[in-house]
Amino acid sequence: MRAGRVVIAIVAVLALAGAAFWWWQRSTPPPPPPPEARVETPPAAPAGPKYPVTPDTTAPLPALNASDPAMGEALSGLIGAQAVERFLNLDGIVRNIVATVDNLPRESVASRLNPVKPVGGTVVTKGKDATLAIAPENAARYLPLVRLAQSLDAKRVAALYLRFYPLFQQAYEDLGYPGRYFNDRLVEAIDDMLAAPEIDKPIALVVPHVLYEYADPELESLSAGRKIMIRVGRGNEAILKAKLRELRQEIVAGAPQR
């Protein structure tokens, strides 16, 4: 059951992913590398999972492409129907959770695949031009999502995750990772977010095109997951990192290390 609690991290991570990244992406993405520079051969698949999960197979599962109603019902039982309606996009939710988790350690995530609805309102800033920065009040926009992540019941979430894990694994393989393991990728995403810098001073912004970017090139070059952790505000980041550390300990406990 401990490994199954990893789904708490899914909700916590995705709640943040759905909160803010849409306004932060570059308006003009960088061009792809020339064909001759691309590496077409994927790395060899591991011999087995680093952090294995034992699914609950006592109840039959729907087909992956028909799993939205079952997931919606299960999530409503976990956090309530009103919270599901407020925070989640149920259309293709298993595939979208998997795709978003897979992209968090990368440069960007796709808003069209986001299983969590964005927060309302606009980014709260202070200053202008050379003094433009994220205002401390902006952190309040994320409080409902942070509180949701904190309120989850670990045992009930574990049961839900273990029940549906084969669908998460199938979606991950369908994404282009045959022979690899979604649980391992989730641990990687958590580790990446835990490595986000902790910044206590105002974070400067620039608007090179239409959307905001960090003025500091080092911050702007961070992964999507790390930038999400920074932009929710220092207080929220501390709360969520503490939860993620707790969850990671549960995820890897008892798993043989390769």
46 SS3 class: coil
Do 16 and 142 contact (CB within 8 A), yes or no? yes
Per-residue pLDDT tens for 146-155? 988 888 776 6
Q: Hey, where are the domains in the chain?
A: 3-32+47-120+139-198+224-252
For residues 242-246, average pLDDT: 80
What element of type H or E holds 94?
helix 93-103
Block residue for tokens 């969590």 = 116
Q: What is the sign of the dihedral through the CA atoms of 246, 252, 257 and 258?
A: negative
Do 72 and 84 contact (CB within 8 A), yes or no? yes
Q: Tell me which residue of 9, 102, 8, 3 sits closest to 56, measured CA to CA.
A: 3
What element of type H or E holds 73?
helix 68-79
Residue 28: the pLDDT is 38
Confidence of residue 173 (pLDDT cuts 50, 70, 90): very high
Confidence of residue 245 (pLDDT cuts 50, 70, 90): confident
Do 222 and 198 contact (CB within 8 A), yes or no? no
Q: Which residues contact 143 (CB under 8 A, 6 or more apart)?
A: 236
Per-residue pLDDT tens for 32-54? 444 444 444 555 666 789 988 87
pTM, rounded to two decimals: 0.80
Q: Tell me which residue of 145, 158, 143, 162 sits closest to 57, measured CA to CA.
A: 162
Beta strand 213-214 with 205-206 is antiparallel
Q: Tell me which residue of 75, 99, 79, 244 sits closest to 164, measured CA to CA.
A: 75
Q: Which residues contact 171 (CB under 8 A, 6 or more apart)?
A: 64, 94, 95, 97, 98, 99, 182
**Residue 255 scores a pLDDT above 60:** no
Measure the CA–CA gap between 103 and 237, rounded to whole angstroms. Answer: 19
Amino acid at 75: L
Q: Which residues contact 103 (CB under 8 A, 6 or more apart)?
A: 109, 110, 224
Q: Which residues contact 90 (CB under 8 A, 6 or more apart)?
A: 68, 71, 72, 75, 84, 115
**Residue 216 scores a pLDDT above 60:** yes
Block residue for tokens 């077409």 = 40
Per-residue pLDDT tens for 104-137? 999 888 878 888 888 878 889 999 999 999 999 9
